[in-house]
Structure 1
Amino acid sequence: MDLLLAVRLYINKMIDESGPGMKVLLMDKETISIVSVVYAQSEVLRKEVYLFERIDGGGNREIMKHLKCICFVRPTRDNVDNLCHELKFPKYGSYYIYFSNIIPKTDIKQLAECDEQEVVKEIQEFYADYLAVSAHVFSLNITNIYHEFNWVPETLNRVMQGLSSTLLALKKAPLIRYQNSSEMAHRLAERIRQLMAKESSLFDFRTAGPQPVLLILDRREDSVSPLLNQWTYQAMVHELLGIQTNRVSLADVPNIAREMQEVVLSTEQDEFYAANRYANFGEIATSIKQLMEEYQTKAKMHTKVESIADMKTFIESYPQFKKISGAVSKHVTVIGELSRLVAQNELLQISELEQEIVAGQLDHGDCFQRMRQLIANPKVTSLDALRLVLLYTLRFEKDPNRDSHTFAEMLRKKGLPERWLQLPDKLARFGGSRFRLTDLFHSETVSADAFMRRLTKGIRGVENIYTQHVPLVKDLVDQLIKNRLKEPAYPYLGGVELKERPQDIFVFVLGGMTYEEGYAIHELNKANPSCRVCIGGTTIHNAKSFLEELWNADQP
């Protein structure tokens, strides 16, 4: 189950099926992102694709009949209309059309009627309607899905399409389980089941072993994970700088070189990033030092070019030398900026308190005093202060001593925009105890299994005070792997039940997942080699994007 490889194979097939010759790749806004996260432009160029165009970019493209056109678009009404216009007035010699999802037969008929010059050589459905972030992580890149805590029909349809395409790409027809406390999860589960029944021939996959399982969760069950500072490389970059389709903007970094204002972090194109994305902040410093030493060794080899043999060696090793040079510059710049922000904003102190709040180690009095001290610190940003207050709101939701007024006044003095002062109340409605199935803070009676897990963890000790938190999804999937996930809370849709332990599991978080959760699933995959788990979400959140999701969730 490799989500990234599935998309790469689709793109390879698109390009190969058109045969040799110069090609143009015609896409829409969303499919450009789908392709760019799995392929560098230089890789596509090596496959004789010399031009990249937008189908919705207007009619100002040149007529180039010597080019073959590979068209990869989503099956939307606008794209079909644009294609109809394109085929009536073709700009290229031939067209190979690929839709990223299921397209109605009526639309295919309409395209055929518009192809008066018979330039279309191929029309196919290739199910790559998702962003393949890594082999086991995917995103639909859809934000603000909640509309008064319910679905907007158009959004539900888009999420259903994206999620079903991942199942089709990996050729899986799963049993469906969903979070019973979430009506939105239930509706999405029903829509997936209806689609699988309607398109039964597409989902007719004969596989050995237990039937796969799709588990649909709601972000509202765990509002803690998106609020925490992160300390693994990938999650830390997203939290402090932001990652959008593998791109990281460094334009606001002081004294940044022009060529470093935007960098690409891709597991497919960057060996250092692939090897270190889950390393913690301390380990990264050691890894970058080793990378620099490797670069310096190669640089010394190239200082003396005195003979034909030296020149030959230099030319042969130059691409690798240049690649290492670029990786060193990029990662030193990124890690340097992360270090600057950690020191400037007192993130170590903030993270320590965050972790102690969510680990349930502080009583209200201690937490209140430490929060007052940190929030009053001028180095602490208003965003970080707000995150502490939101975690406090969840942790002490039922505590009679909870003092929201004091923190609201402190946030106001720090210059927090007035609308964000409403977020603690919004969070209580979004992910408070009345909605949740789970006691996130272990403040109530726990099961014998959970008690033993906590006792064992206490005996071992906490290896890192900044990474005590374990996202809820890890515990849920661990229970699912062991066939212990409680059915009343996470029922099977349609009464069908899996008696065996599942081998292939899809987890989907409506409302958005986090990179911390992606790392947790990576760890589960390592610990359970006989089981393969993929996780995806409507988007991948950092704190800023989650607060926007939270703000919009109960808006009419």
Structure 2
Amino acid sequence: MNVVQAVRQYISKMVQDSGAGMKVLLMDKETTGITSMVFAQSEILQKEVFLFEKIDTPNRESMKHLKAICFLRPNKENLELLCQELKSPKYGLYYIYFSHFVDQSDIRRLAEADDQEVVREIQEFFGDYFAINPHVFSFNVNGCCRAGNWDRSIQARCVSGLSAVLLSLKKQPVIRYQQGSALARNLADDVHQLMRKEASLFEFRRPDVPPVLLVLDRRDDPVTPLLNQWTYQAMVHEVLGIRNNRVDLSGAPGISKELQEVVLSAEQDEFYQSNMYLNFGEIGANIKTLVDHFQVKSKNQAKVETIADMKQFIETYPQFKRMSGTVSKHVAVVSELSRLVAEHHILQVSEVEQELACQSDHSTALQNVRRILSMENVRPVDCLRLVLLYAIRYERHGSNEVDALVDMLTRRGLPEKYIKLVSGIVNYAGKSQRNGDLFGGRTPLALTKKLLKGLKGVENIYTQHTPLLSETLDSLVKNKLKDQQFPFVGSQVVRDRPQDIIVFMIGGITYEEALAVYNLNKTVPGIRVLLGGTHVHSTQSFLDEVSISVYGRSGREQTV
């Protein structure tokens, strides 16, 4: 179950099926991102694709000698643009691939527009999602609901995206959903109905134990997306932001022009692939090893004295240049992370966050939150996240001091729209909205686990927290997930331990949860888990999710 490989195979087949000759790849905004997640531009150039264009770009140059490979989402806007394109074609031939189902009526419209008979092929290739890691996918949409109800356009996007994941991986799962979440139930029902409607497409070879699609709701665990992270990929996303594998470093002091935006892709960067799940301390040591290795290589490259030396230099130069780019990129990223961590006291903030998430000493927690809020140079987003965590953790505590903490935020100058999120987070994911045992302690097993953890201590005070998803998956792989809490859709009920599990989180996932799934896949034999969500959250994007859900608007116009 490798979503990166699945999307790569689709794109490779598009290029292959169009035959030999020079080509242009014509895409929309979303399919451009989907493609860039799994292929480097240089890699596609080697497949005779010499031009990349967006279908909505006006006044594109006519190039009849090129074949056009069109990879588009089958939405109304793209179909209209494609009809216009075919009425006045700019390229010699067109090979059209939609990322999901396209109606027969729309195909007729395209046929009527194709007066010059330039279309050679129309197919449905189900690459309708962003493959982030081999075991992680997203739809890059935020703000799933309004006042607890689905945003209809995003609901439809989730149905098409989820069915595309299933079809690209050739899976026909049984579906379970989180009881108590109308969002999860509605999405599970919609996917189930689509599978029945398109039953012929889902007729794959059935394993002894069918796969499971588990639909969850972010509101059951609002804590995980509010925490600072300390593994490389997660930390880069939280502190700097990753968008379609791209990281913006333009705000770093003294950064060179070529490093103002860098690409972090496990498919194209061996160092990143090897280090993305390691903690920040290990990354620093590994960066030093990388730099030392590069310096040795540089000295060897400087010794070009004979014809043989010159020949070796020419042969190894591409690898040397690639290594040089890798070193420069990761040194720049880690340097900026280190600067921000030190300047904004993120380690101290993280320690208090973990205490709020994992401990239950109200007096100490309140004292520490106040201490952080009184410190200079702490980022506004870190001040806000601590108060939000406190509001969730001690929502019903008798000595709750949320109002006093809100006053401290106000005095620090946080805008009113962010102050409102303190009550908004409780409306979004307070105790009355949650079904799971988020903070533990309500069952004998939870109490035992907590006691054992306390006796053993923790290896790292900054990574004490375990996402609720880990407990849910632990129950599922041990075949102990209760039907009352996670009912099945339809009549098919499976009692055997599942081997292939696809988890989808409405309201978005985090890289901390992606790490938990990665570790589960690595340590539990015979189990393959795939994690997807509407969005991959940093704290900032999660605050937008909450704001849209509760107040019907995002705070994006002014970042905390």
Q: TM-score range by the shorter chain?
A: over 0.9
| Alpha-carbon distance in structure 1 between the residues aligned to 2:137 and 2:430 | 27
Matching residue's letter, 1:234:
Q
Alignment partner of 1:551 is 2:512 = no
- Give me the whole-angstrom Cα distance separating, in 2, the residues matched to 1:459 and 1:410: 36
**Structure 1 CA distance for aligned equivalents of residues 179 and 319 of structure 2:** 52
| Equivalent residue, structure 2, for 1:99 | 98
Which is further off, 494-503 or 176-185?
Answer: 494-503
Alignment of 1:515-534 (within 5 A): 515-534=511-530
Query: Structure 2: how far apart are the matches of 1:146 and 1:64?
Result: 44
AA aligned to 2:488 is: Y
Match of 1:513 among 509, 514, 527: 509
Aligned to 1:52: 52
Cα distance in 2 for residues equivalent to 1:196 and 1:387:
40
Quote the Cα distance in structure 1 between the aligned partners of 2:39 and 2:272: 16
User: Tell me, what secondary structure is at the counterpart of 1:509?
Assistant: strand
Corresponding position of 1:426: 424
- Counterpart of 2:337 in structure 1 is 338
Matched, 1:111 2:110: yes
Residue 322 of structure 1 aligns to a residue in which SS?
helix
Counterpart for residue 3 of structure 1: 3
TM, length-normalised to structure 1: 0.98
Aligned with residue 440 of structure 1, among 431, 438, 441: 438
Q: 2:459 aligns with which of 453, 457, 463?
A: 463
- Greater displacement, 19-28 / 112-121: 112-121
**Root-mean-square deviation (CA), in Å?**
1.1
Moved over 6 A (4+): none
Residues 447 and 109 of structure 1, relative CA distance in 2, 3 Å threshold: farther
2:28 — aligned with what?
28
Give the residue type in structure 2 aligned to 1:127. F
Q: Which runs of structure 2 are paired with 1:99-498 in the superposition (5 Å)? A: 99-360=98-359, 362-442=360-440, 444-448=441-445, 450-498=446-494
Separation (CA, whole Å) in 1 of partners of 2:452 and 2:289: 35
CA distance in 1, matches of 2:324, 2:516: 32
Counterparts of 1:249 and 1:382 in 2: how far apart (Å)?
20
Q: Distance in 2 between matches of 1:364 and 1:495?
A: 46
Matching residue's letter, 1:470: T
Q: Distance in 2 between matches of 1:93 and 1:126?
A: 22
CA apart distance, 1:446 = 1.8
| Equivalence for 2:556 | none
Q: Distance in 2 between matches of 1:552 and 1:36?
A: 28
Cα-to-partner distance string for 1:463-509 (whole Å, 9 max, x where unaligned) = 10000001111111111111111111111112421111101100001
Q: Secondary structure at the match of 1:97?
A: strand
The 3-state SS of whatever aligns with 1:133 is strand
Quote how far apart the aligned CAs of 1:456 are: 3.7
SS of 2:167's equivalent in the other structure is helix
- Inter-partner Cα distance in structure 2 for 1:150 and 1:445: 29
Amino acid at match of 1:251: S
The sequence identity of aligned pairs, in percent, is 53
In the aligned structure 2, how far is the partner of 1:224 from the partner of 1:118? 56
Q: Are 2:41 and 1:41 equivalent residues in the alignment?
A: yes
Cα distance in 2 for partners of 1:19, 1:529 equals 42
* Matched residue, 1:63: 62
Q: Distance in 1 between matches of 2:381 and 2:451?
A: 34
Distance 1:548 1:452 in 2: 36
Cα distance between partner residues in 2 of 1:74 and 1:248: 25
Cα distance in 1 for partners of 2:450, 2:315 equals: 55
**TM-score, normalized by length of structure 2?**
0.97
Give, in angstroms, the shift of residue 418 of structure 1: 1.2
Unaligned runs of 5+ in 2: 553-560
Per the alignment, residue 555 of structure 2 pairs with none
Secondary structure of the residue that 1:37 maps to in structure 2? helix
- 1:293 is paired with a residue whose SS is helix
CA distance in 2, matches of 1:295, 1:529: 37
